[in-house]
Amino acid sequence: MTANDPNTLLPRRPSRLVPTLAAVAVGIVVIAATAGLPIDWRDLGTVPAQLVHFGGLMFESPNWEKLPRALTEMWRSISMAWIGAILCVLVSIPLGMLAAGSVGPVWVRLPLRGVFAVIRAVPEVIIALILLTITGLTPFTGALALGIAGIGTQGKWVYETIESVQEGASEAVRAAGGGTAEVTRWALWPAAAPALLSLALYRFEINIRTSAVLGLVGAGGIGSMLANYTNYRQWDTVGMLLIVVVVVTMTMDAISGAIRRRITRGPGIARTTRTALPARTTRSRNVDRVR
């Protein structure tokens, strides 16, 4: 029986109706959203020239006189990010573990996941604006906003990490008579701890970038200084502040990334080889002496 045989039953060609309708619907939404915005598309031609103009004002001769204060404010932003990350991790890890399918019951798991989803739907700036009426214009407002806003994302990462752990260790603890608490302590937590610590450091990286944005609404840090000098059109100082933000953020990201790689991958193979080589050499010398 060949393909040209009329009695051959060929599979039906899959319908493209659903993907086509979905693409048309997305196109209509994009066109409607674009048409509903008051955008003068003729201004796009002037954007490159304006970028070059203001880039020259900011970076042609940056004002380094304000560098000490900029570093102080950047340190406040890093402190806000660190405190917010600690608050987020301390709250999200236990709640996220309770929201995991293999740990918490349904009546606890579903409400927690709903709370995480609601928190993720609210931007950090909105949370900071709400907290400003309670805590005032202080760096604590920014740290608290970062901590609350991170619970939604961090909690989701925690229960997804717990649910991705292999069941072998959990089944062994259950076979030994352990309950949910014992399974969580001796099976799930040891397996998920490296990934959770890595995600906590990643949360810190995100908070460093977000803390600069929170400063624009009065939460303190380098963002407040950047907003003030931008309002007064002191572009040479703004350029210096942007350089500080970029350099410090990239440095912290590199340090945090190296720590996260060490946590998730362990010590490098090259280092293990170097430390193991002298031991083998010493043993071989001892054998030679015995001989």
Average pLDDT score over the chain:
81
Task: Determine whether 227 is exposed, middle or buried from the number of CB atoms within 10 Å of its CB (0-12, 13-18, 19+).
Answer: middle
Please report the pLDDT score of residue 278 as a whole number.
52
> Does residue 53 register a pLDDT over 90?
no
> Does residue 201 register a pLDDT over 80?
yes
What is the per-residue pLDDT across 202-233, written as a single tens digit (0 to 9) for each? 888 888 888 888 877 777 788 888 888 888 88
The runs of H, that is alpha helices, within 99-138 are 106-120, 124-135
Please report the pLDDT score of residue 282 as a whole number.
45
Q: How far apart are CA 64 and CA 225, in angstroms?
A: 14
Q: Other CB atoms closer than 10 Å to residue 21's CB: what's the count?
A: 10
The DSSP code for 62 is: -
Looking at per-residue pLDDT, the higher value among 110 and 167 belongs to: 110
Looking at per-residue pLDDT, the higher value among 199 and 217 belongs to: 199
Residues 6+ apart with CB under 8 A from 193: none
Residues 6+ apart with CB under 8 A from 272: none
Task: Determine whether 247 is exposed, middle or buried from the number of CB atoms within 10 Å of its CB (0-12, 13-18, 19+).
Answer: exposed
Q: How far apart are CA 275 and CA 169, in angstroms?
A: 31
Which range among 102-116, 242-256, 271-285 shows the weakest confidence by mean pLDDT?
271-285
Residue 123 has phi, psi (to 5 degrees) of -65, 160
Question: How would residue 6 be classed by pLDDT, with cut points 50, 70 and 90?
Answer: low
Q: How far apart are CA 142 and CA 79, in angstroms?
A: 10
Question: How would residue 4 be classed by pLDDT, with cut points 50, 70 and 90?
Answer: low
Q: Which of 158, 151, 221 is nearest to 189 (CA)?
A: 158
What is the per-residue pLDDT across 82-134, written as a single tens digit (0 to 9) for each? 999 999 999 999 999 888 887 878 898 899 999 999 999 988 888 888 888 88
Residue 6 has phi, psi (to 5 degrees) of -65, -20
Q: How far apart are CA 244 and CA 229, in angstroms?
A: 14
- Mind listing the domains of the chain with CATH numbers? 73-288 (1.10.3720.10)
pLDDT (average), residues 5-29: 79
Please report the pLDDT score of residue 212 as a whole number.
81
Q: How far apart are CA 221 and CA 74, in angstroms?
A: 6
Q: Provide the whole-model pTM.
A: 0.73
What is the per-residue pLDDT across 231-244, written as a single tens digit (0 to 9) for each? 888 898 888 999 99
Looking at per-residue pLDDT, the higher value among 266 and 277 belongs to: 266
Question: How would residue 3 be classed by pLDDT, with cut points 50, 70 and 90?
Answer: low
